[in-house]
Structure 1
Amino acid sequence: MRETLETDYLVVGTGAAGMAFTDALLSHSDATVTLVDRRHAPGGHWIETYPFVRLHQPSAFYGVSSVPLGRGTVNPSGVNAGFHEQASADELRAYYTQVLDQHFLPTGRVQHRPCSDHAIGPDGRHFITSRLTGAVQEVRVRSKWVDTGYLEGRIPATSPPPFEVAEGVRCVTAGDVVRVTDPPERVVIIGTGKTALDTCVWLLTQGVPASSIQWIRPREGWWLNRRFHQPAEGLPAFFAGVGLQLKAMAQATSADDVFARLEADGFFLRVDSTVAPTMSHGAMVSEAELALLRQIGDVVRRGHVRRIERDRIVFDDGAVPTGPGTLHVHCAAVGLARPPLRPIFEADRVTLQPLFWSFACYPFALLGVVEATIADTGEKNRMCPPIHYWDAPRDYLTAYLALLAHERARLVHPAVVAWAKGTRLNPLSGLSAHRDHPLVAQTWDIVKQYGPAAAGNLVKLLH
C-alpha cells in the first residue's frame, strides 16, 4: 500500500456535478481537494456518450462557474439556427480537461486520481485503488468526502438493453449508429427521452426518410421550448417565461391545467398533441426539431419492449413485426436515478442531490458555496433540502415549489445571495443589463402579481 494521502475534501466523481461543486469550493475556501474517478479524464458521462449529442441548454449556463464555456456564438444554420451555441461532446470533454489542467491543478490544492475506484472500509477509512496498477492508497479525509454518484443514472452507451435481444438481431446504441456500414431497410428507435429524440433528429437531418423510421415511444413527454431559454439578448424572453410559469401556477385548477396553460403559451411542447404526456425530464427542443420529429408517422405505443426476436418486437401488450433488414437502436436506459433522499450535508459527507428546478450545474455549484461559507450543518440542510430528479409532470411542480422556497431561505445568507446574483450558471444573473427592456418591466409586474399566489396554489395542487 502506498503512503497515506491527506486531503480536506475527497470528491468522488468528476462529472458535471463534481466539477461544479469543486470549483465553487476552491473559489470560496482554501481547502485542498482530491478528485477520484473511474474514468480516465474529467467529464462524467460526456466521456462515453453518443458522438452527435449536444447540450440541450445553452453553453453559457453550463460547466463550472469560474470558467466560461463556449464563445458566445449563435448557430447560423440547422434546426437550432438563431439560438446560442450548445456544446458538443468533444467540446465538453475538452472543456473539463481545460478546467482541471489549467484552473484546478495550478492552485496546488488539487490532486487528481483518474482510472481509480473509491471504497470505504468497515472502520470508515477511505481507499483509492488504481484500475491500471492495482495499487491501493489510503486517503485521510480531514473534512468530508463528497459523493457525486449517489444519483448517477444509466446511459444507453454503457448499459445493456433493458430487454432481450435474440441472436442475429441488429441492435445497437445511438453511438453505434454513426458506424453503420450496411444501410438498413428500416430503423427502429426504442425510447422516449432525449437520446431517442436526438437520434431521430440526427437521422432525419442525415437524409434518412421519415417513412423508414419507426419510433417506439413507451411514454409521451413534455419538452421545454428552447426559445424561452436563451442567454444575452434572449434573457428578456427567458424572464418572460418565468412570468408565464408563475401566472399559470397561480391560476391553474390542476397539475394538468398548468401544463395546458403553458403549452398554449408555447413554453412547453410535445411531439404528439393528441397524447397526454406522462414524462417531464426538463430537456429542451426547438420548434424546428419538433417539426422534424412530427414527420415520423410510424409510432408504436404498446409500453416497454420486452424482447426483440428475428421477426417481431414483443411488448407486454402484443407485438409488432420486424425483420433482418431492420436496425434497432436502443435508447432506453434509465437516465435519471431516484434513490431515497438523504441529507445533503452530514458531519463527514456531502451527498450531491438536486435542490430545485434549474439548469444542470447551478445547484451543485451552489452547494459548494454553501459548504464553504456556512458552518452550521443544520442551517445548510435547512436551506438546501434535496428533492428527487423530475420524471413525471407533477415533479416539475414539486421542483418549482422547491425553487421558490429556496430563494426565500437563502436571503439570510448574503454571501450565497451575492454569488447567485453573479454566477453565469444562474441564467437570470444577467437580467440587470436588460432592466429597461419593455418585456422585462412587463414581466416584473406579472411576477409581483402572481408570484405569492403561485407558491400558495402549488401547495394545493400537490396535495
Structure 2
Amino acid sequence: MMQTDYVVVGAGAAGMAITDALLTHTDATVTMVDRRHAPGGHWIDTYPYVRLHQPSAFYGVDSTALGQNTIDTTGLNAGFYERASADEIRSYYGQVMQHRFLASGRVRYFPNCEYLNDQRVGSRVSGAIWELRAARKVIDTTYLEGDIPATSPPPFEVADGVRCVPAGAITHLQERPETFVVIGGGKTALDACVWLLEQGVAPEAIRWVKPRESWWINRKYVQPATLLPDLYRGHALHLEATAQATSVRDLFARLEAKRFMLRVDTEVEPSMYRGAFISETELDLVRTIKNVVRLGHVRRIDQHTITLDQGQVPTSARSLHIHCAARALPRPELRPMFEPDRITVQPFMRGLACFQFAMVGVAEALLNTDDEKNRVLPPINYWDSTRDSLTSLLAGVAHAKARADYPALAAWANTSRLNPMGDLGPYRDHPDVLEARALIQHHSAAAYGNMSRLIAM
C-alpha cells in the first residue's frame, strides 16, 4: 500500500491552491487524484473563448503568478488588467504541476483516475487499482463540483432533428445557421453572445432565452496594482449602500446608481446574483440584442417550437440552439470543513475563490485543531440570489474577525497575492483611497449592523 500525508481529490483550482499551500507551509507529502487527463479542473473541458471574469492577478496558486500583470489596451477589456484565456490557464496549471509540485519530490499525481473512497485509486484508462492510505486527511474538492454545458446534457428535452450544441461548439461550425438561439442567463450565455457579436453576427440574428435576469459586478471595481484604489473605492461604496439600504431591493438599486452593480436590461429586475464581473463595454455590446425571451426555463425544443415554463415561442430547423444552461453549482447539505480524517472544501465567504481555496490549506497547516479551523472557516452555500449576496458577505465579515485571532493566518492573508486587498500599502495616500477610507470609517458599523436586518426581511 502506498502512503501519503494527504490525498487531494481533484486537480482543479481548489486542489491546486490547497496543495500549493501545503507545500509552502508544511513538510507533508501529497497525492493528487483527478479524473481528467491534466490539471485545471473545468478549464480542461470549457468553451475555447472563455476568459477569467476577474483579473489574472487574483487567480491560481499563491506561490506562482498568473500572467504578466499588464493592462489590456484593445478589446472589450481595454483599460483593465489582463484576464487569462482557457489556454493560458491550462498551460499555467500544467507548469505549476510539473515545475512546482512534481519537482518538489513531495507530490504524486494520478491523472485519469478516480478516488474510490476506500483507500483505493482506480485508473479510468487501464483499469489498474492502487491501494493508497492518507496518514493525515483526504481533501475532497469535488463536494460542490457543478455541471458545465460541455460535459453535461441540456437540462431540457431536444427532439430529433433539432440543432442543439454546447457553447464551445459554435467555434467550429460547418454550416451557418439563420438564427443563433442562446439558452441561459449566466456567464456562459453572456460569453456566447459576446463572442457571436465579436465575430460579426448581427444582433438581429441572435435570440437570447433567459430564465432569469442577473446582476453583474462592474469589473472596474475588481482591479489590482495601479488600479487598486478603484477596488478599495468599490468596497467603500458597497458599505455605504449597505448602511443606507432599507431592503435588499433598495441595496441593489443604490449599488446600480453608483455603477457598482450592472444589469443588461434596466427594465427587468434581476433575481439572480452569481458574483460574476462584466465591463461596461461588454454590457453595451450585449444590450444590442433585442430579441430576448423571458418565459422561464426551457422544457423542450422541437423542430418548430421551444416550450418553456410559461409559454411557447417559434423556432426553425435553420436555427442553432446553444446550450448554456447547465445546473451549475449545487447546494448540498453543508458539513464541517475540517474533520479528523477529512477536509470537505466549501466556500466560507463571497467571491475570491482561489484565495479561499489557498486559505483552506494554510489553515490546515497553521492552526492546531479542527475546532479552531472550523471556527475560522465555517462553510456557506454558493450564492445564487440577491439575498445570498448579503449572507455570503456577512459570512466574510465574520471570517475576517475570526481570522484576526490567529496572527500567522492573518499575516499570510495580508500578504497573499490572491488577496485583492493585500497590496494596498503603496496606494494608501492615493486620493481615492483616502476618500474611500473616510467612507468606510463612517459607514462600517451601520453597514454590518444592517446586513442581518436586510437578510431577515
Please tell me the TM-score bracket, short chain as reference.
Answer: over 0.9
Runs of 4+ aligned residues of structure 1 deviating over 4 Å after TM superposition are none
Shift of 1:358: 2.5
* Other-structure match for 1:332: 325
User: SS at 1:329's partner residue?
Assistant: strand
2:155 pairs with 1:162: yes
2:27 pairs with 1:27: no
Amino acid at match of 1:443: A
Tell me the distance in 2 between the aligned counterparts of 1:439 and 1:40: 46
Shift of 1:300: 0.3
Matching residue within 112, 126, 139 for 2:132: 139
Matching residue within 268, 279, 284 for 1:275: 268
Matching residue within 72, 77, 80 for 1:80: 77
* Other-structure match for 1:239: 232
Matching residue within 190, 193, 196 for 2:189: 196
Matching residue within 87, 99, 104 for 2:101: 104
Shift of 1:334: 1.6
Amino acid at match of 1:9: Y
User: SS at 2:307's partner residue?
Assistant: strand
2:56 pairs with 1:59: yes
Shift of 1:159: 0.5
Shift of 1:455: 1.1
User: SS at 1:243's partner residue?
Assistant: helix
* Other-structure match for 1:447: 440
The 5 Å alignment of 1:1-400 reads 4-121=1-118, 126-400=119-393
User: SS at 2:153's partner residue?
Assistant: coil
Shift of 1:317: 1.6
Deviations 1:129-184 (A, max 9, x none): 01121111111110000000000000000000001111111101110001112111
User: SS at 1:215's partner residue?
Assistant: strand
Amino acid at match of 2:8: V
Shift of 1:214: 0.3
Tell me the distance in 1 between the aligned counterparts of 2:77 and 2:367: 41
Q: TM-score if structure 2 supplies the norm length?
A: 0.99
Tell me the distance in 2 between the aligned counterparts of 1:399 and 1:172: 34
Size of the alignment, in residue pairs?
456
Identity of aligned residues (%): 56
Shift of 1:250: 1.0
Q: 2:304–2:315: 8 Å Cα contact kept in structure 1?
A: yes
Amino acid at match of 1:38: R
Shift of 1:312: 0.7
Tell me the distance in 1 between the aligned counterparts of 2:193 and 2:327: 18
List runs of 5+ in structure 2 lacking aligned partners: none
Tell me the distance in 1 between the aligned counterparts of 2:338 and 2:423: 30
Tell me the distance in 2 between the aligned counterparts of 1:178 and 1:396: 34
Deviations 1:41-73 (A, max 9, x none): 100000000000000000000000000000111
Shift of 1:316: 2.2
Tell me the distance in 2 between the aligned counterparts of 1:275 and 1:327: 26
Tell me the distance in 1 between the aligned counterparts of 2:328 and 2:71: 29
